[in-house]
């Protein structure tokens, strides 16, 4: 009897420890001054999007520069709420409501000279000053001439963000249900053994 009581306490401690570790490893911390530059390259297919997340403090100025490697045309959008879809319609066109949901966007790329191609390529930039301390989401969309690779430069470190498989479903609720179900199953099995 003492052994099963010890096992139950050990399981509970491991469960609590695991939750603490999960919460600390997945938290997004504010960027320090030493990390105030980020660079990335990524290839997107025509009609595809790439998301990033950044934690900005109040009055932080986020500066984003995105240039195509070849002839792709990219648009930039910043959201202050977690996106639940990529804003593409079933026919592959861009949903017009994206500009209503975005807190900042740039859909007017300019042309810059590329020494690699010895020709002009698409370049788009976006500056945003955060009004509050919170997470902000950056979406980069290729509109024309895909697939192409973009070069991204940011004044703050960004983290890649992937939309959950169940759009709009709260991950916190899912994790809580999973933990609750696991604990419930554990106690049912424990009760049967007695």
171-193 and 2-26 helices, crossing angle to 10°:
170
- The 61-68 sheet, strands edge to edge: 38-44, 148-154, 61-68, 119-129, 110-114
Which of 32 and 123 is assigned the larger pLDDT?
Answer: 123
CA distances from 40 to 52, 64, 149, 154, 159 (A): 11, 11, 10, 9, 10
Match 């554990």 to its residue by tokens: 186
Residue 32 pLDDT grade (very low, low, confident, very high; cuts 50, 70, 90):
very low
- The 104-106 sheet, strands edge to edge: 104-106, 73-79, 134-144, 49-56, 159-161
Spatial distance between the Cα atoms of 105 and 82, rounded to a whole number of angstroms: 16
pLDDT one-digit tens code per residue, 1-31: 455 566 677 677 666 666 555 554 444 444 4
Q: What pairs with residue 139 in β-bridges?
A: 51, 77
Give 124's Cβ-side CA count (13 Å radius).
Answer: 21
pLDDT one-digit tens code per residue, 56-95: 999 999 999 999 998 899 999 999 999 888 888 888 889 9
Three-state DSSP state, 30: coil
This prediction has a pTM of: 0.67
Please report, to the nearest 10 degrees, the dihedral formed by the alpha carbons of residues 98, 103, 109, 112 taken in order.
-150
């Amino acid at each position: 009897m003492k052994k099963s009581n010890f096992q139950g306490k050990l399981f509970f401690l491991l469960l609590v420890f695991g939750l603490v570790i999960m919460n600390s490893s997945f938290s997004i911390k504010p960027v320090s001054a030493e990390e105030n530059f980020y660079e990335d390259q990524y290839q997107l297919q025509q009609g595809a999007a790439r998301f990033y997340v950044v934690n900005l403090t109040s009055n932080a100025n986020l500066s984003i520069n995105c240039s195509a490697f070849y002839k792709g045309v990219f648009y930039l959008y910043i959201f202050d709420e977690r996106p639940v879809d990529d804003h593409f319609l079933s026919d592959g066109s861009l949903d017009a409501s994206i500009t209503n949901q975005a807190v900042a966007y740039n859909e007017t790329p300019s042309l810059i000279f590329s020494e690699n191609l010895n020709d002009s390529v698409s370049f788009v930039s976006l500056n945003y000053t955060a009004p509050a301390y919170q997470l902000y989401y950056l979406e980069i969309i290729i509109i024309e001439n895909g697939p192409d690779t973009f070069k991204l430069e940011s004044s703050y470190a960004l983290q890649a963000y992937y939309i959950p498989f169940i759009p709009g479903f709260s991950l916190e609720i899912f994790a809580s249900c999973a933990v609750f179900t696991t604990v419930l199953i554990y106690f049912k099995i424990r009760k049967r053994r007695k």
